[in-house]
Structure 1
Amino acid sequence: MKRVILFIMIVVPLILNAQQDKLAEVFCAVDNSVQNAIRIKWLYKTVYHPGGFDIYRQEKGGSEWVKLNSDAIKPTKVLPASNNLDKEAKDLHKAMVESSFEEFSTSIIRAFVLIKAIYENELADFIGVSFLDKAAQNNREYQYKVCLAGSTEPLGISKPFVFEEFSLPGCPEGVKLIRSKKRVDISWKPDIYRYYAVDVYRRSDIDTSLVKLTKVPRAIQKEQADKYSENSVFYQDTAIDYNANYYYRFKAIDYFGQSSGLSSEFSAPAADFIPPAQPFSVTPTSSSLNLLVRLDWKVIDEKDLAGVNIYWSNSPDKKYEKVNKELIPKTTLTYNHTSVPVGSNYYWVATVDLAGNESVSPPVFTEIRDVTPPAKPTGLESEAGEGFINLKWKANSEPDLKGYHVQRSLKIKSDIGSSYINVTKEPIVQTNYSEKLPKNVRNEFVYRVVAIDTNFNRSIPSDNTLAKMPDVTPPLQPVIKSASADTANAKVSWLANADADLAGYNLFRTLSGDTLTMAKVNFNLIPSDMSTYTDRDIKPGSEYDYYLVAVDSSGNSSEKSQGFGCKTPEKKITGTVKIDSKNFNVKKGLLKLEWTARLNEDVKGYVVYMQVKPDLPFKPVTGMLTDNYADISVNDNVNGLFYIKCYTVNGKIVQSETFGIQNEKKE
């Protein structure tokens, strides 16, 4: 089973993990058993191939690959009697040739055959995975490629190799020993193309004989080689005496079974590996406000105690890191850890002795709470509309921001509120908010925004913004309670409206029955504290309907009131029409009249009436005259009677006295 493990350590890194187009690994070395020859050996995934292999060589500077073998390189079915194989090799060869290729390529025997072929070149020849280039010339550099017989496509190509006199493989390089209380960790710089394994030897000052420790050479996997670092460990020597000094030597083994000479010695001297007593009574005290943790502890003052280290992690399961840069003196029993991150914090206090041994206390836990509030939100703006108030602001940048609360208050003065309430039940993540309100709300509000983080720390409130919805609700419909008039004025009275934002009233008038032609009575808005208004632009004897409209401070107008009728009395006409002169021209039969009207109304015109005979009615003898004189033809009707009717602009009639012309002056 150990050989199987070795096979896995060799074949897995060199074959199965090789590049997809590289099916074999090819190695070259000077064969010490044959003069002036280079031995080529290859590791193929099925060990051999029933069709065999071909070997090609290319010299440095050349472009041609020269085929070296005349016949395909295949396993030898029958071993010659002169072979020098040991029993194990012979048995392995027999098992291989007696198995079908399909059976062998998947069997465990394949592992043992390949391992033995690495150690013994003769067996490698017999199973068809080795070739001797006897035509190579000294001090020339070559590369070799292995192909399936009859093909020129390479299964693998060797690294460049210079043909020189034989020399043993070099010893492992970069050897490093780290001794602890119960073992020695050993590593070296891997070179899997120069050698495949290393043997480790040891002696001590108690037992000076050199003893081989590795029963099976220690092979390094390709993945291990690729990840090699100063922390790599390839072999652990656990059979050590605490008080003994140890010395190690190494041999490298290549793919041709050839070993290097022993390396020089590497020492792992005895040392003090007994750690000091653990610190105890470790007590953390945290200050969230200052992001600080104070640690206090006690120690046992041992002779070789050097000091204390502090370690920290944010999880008990994660790797911790050292906090202090310099070793804390053993007499110092307190430490302040500053700039501690918010959240869970775990601490370990470790005593350190002069040999560097540490003894770590159990972890202690403390918590730094987030007490830093978010920044004050900025850029708060408001927009009010019918039934809503919209708010928006700039986003905060804190990574632990939970959201925002929108707060509202009634305005008491300037832009200051009284008692603020949250209008958002839970913090919101968006940077805008719309509040729906009844359309008839008239209050002016003060809004502000508060940022909240995941630990519920609250920021300073943002600057305030004022918001008031537009007034779209009109006043109540007013009610006119009375309207009375004389010949010159109409007095209209109404019930005062109870609207709090009432600005005043507008009074309208129309002639009764005419609802289309409505005249505004007042020029300026009637003040809200007035409930009576006098209309001074009316006409006597007219019938009017009055309507009242209430107006609020936002300019909203109510429905007009129900019409209230009012009739102005007729204006009494006063004054006379006096005949100033009457001249009758007998010869022409022409009567010249002049008169004067003195009335309290404007005159529209005059008409002269005449009665020819007493039993006949008066008839107009003129049309409507606008002047106050007339020439009237009376012909022979000298006995007739006359009077003048004066018509006012308001339709009133004033009649002069009746007069005749018999006794008048004649011309």
Structure 2
Amino acid sequence: MNATPTDLTPPAVPTGLAAVRGDGRVDLTWTANAEADLATYRVLRDGVEIATVTGTSYADTGLANDTAYAYRLVAVDTHGNRSAASAAVSATPTDLTPPSAPTGLTAVRGDGRVQLGWTANPETDVATYRVLRDGVEVATVTGTSYTDTGLTNDRSYAYRLVAVDTHGNRSAASAAVSATPTDLTPPAVPVGLAVARGEQRVTLSWTANTEPDLATYRVLRDGVEVATVTGTSYVDTGLTDDTAYAYRLVAVDTHGNRSAASAAVSGTPTDLTAPATPTGFTAVRGDGRVDLAWTANGEPDLASYRLYRDGLLLATVTGTSYADTGLTNDRTYAYRLAAVDTHGNDSVATAVVPATPTDLTPPAPPTGLAVARGDGQVVLTWTANTEPDLATYRVLRDGVEVATVTGTSYTATGLTNDQTSAWSLVAVDTHGNRSATSTAVPATPTDLTAPAAPAAPTAVPGDGQVALSWPANADPDVASYRVLRDGVEVATVTGTSYTDPGLTNDTAYAYRVVAVDGHGNRSPPPRRPPRPRPT
């Protein structure tokens, strides 16, 4: 029996198997085995060996698209030893033929938008169209039109179109078409149109439109455009006075969009020259009233004057004076005056002239004034006035006001003794009204201060007499001394001694000395008079 040893070791399992799908095909590639005696690779599709390959790639053609296939690989050496099969890889052939580029692309501009349209592709498996703006895909569309919104007006955009079939194959982009969106929205109708008539002219004014791109306003007179204005006012001149004109306004933006015309307003030119402001305006206050007067205006067409009190029309007057009565005293009123002509033109009002009605009735003259003179002073008293609004009394000395008093008495001090003054009173109420001066009452202040009591005299008894002496008083105005014996005044002496004669010896006598000044003021006597006895 013969035997021949042989190689029974199979190759390693192939690695790196990859499958790339194609249109009716799958392209397989793998990594070459390292065995030196490797002969072939066997390709298995869905477990069935379909090819023997010596290289490291294989194209499996004639397949059904959209069907999944599982591929494995087996390595075989020169002795016929087969490796285990590789792990399976799956691939699904598919349609890879793109649609044709779309045609008929058009772009129509709008306000912040572009409307696109195109011809439908002939391929039956076209699924969508991709819209590209400036090279960037912005939309997926199944139909044949698209509106691109939210764009910036007055900027150019380039559009292209790509067709995509159900297998995701994309056509080449169509030829580009350009479009520039633009503002097509007209401005709002102008509002606030007002007419101010003038002489042979009409001045128009209105509220500014809020659109940021507003360019002009067109002024229409009686339906005919007469002016283009960039502001919010217009003066229409060269008109015929007393003829009515109808005005409308149209707003136009920078893109030429025109608003609807505003509602018509009418203006009739006329004389609008106002009279001059009145002059010489005065207000004189009274009790519960104000009397107003002014200088007549010189205009020949002057019709009247309008009188205002506290900003409100008080009266229309054709003359040059007016009495405003029934007012509240002590309240200030503000008056102004304006002149009006026959066309109803009002002048500028005068400056405010204030007036405050007030109580102008003075109190009655004070009565009952009595004067008591004193030493360098005068004390005045009087009867109280009965007016409820009496405020004060003014005291007058020799016609000159020297004091303000709220009561009914006053002491004037610091006066010169022996100088006569005439005293009178004036009553004043809370509004400052002064009564007539009361009848004057004269008064002469005088010295009423008695000298100091002289010191107790020294008594020296004699035969049928007593000799008295005492210190001189220090008061400069002492005129004399009165000597009292037993309380009876027996002598007036200018010196400081006195001898009392004709007395009864051995009888005790009590002496006192009183000082008398030039005004007759007497000092008090000493407390303990001496009782000398003549001997």
So what's the TM-score if we normalise by structure 2? Answer: 0.35
- Please state which structure has a larger fraction of its residues in helix: 1
- Higher-strand-fraction structure: 2
Q: Which has the larger radius of gyration?
A: 2
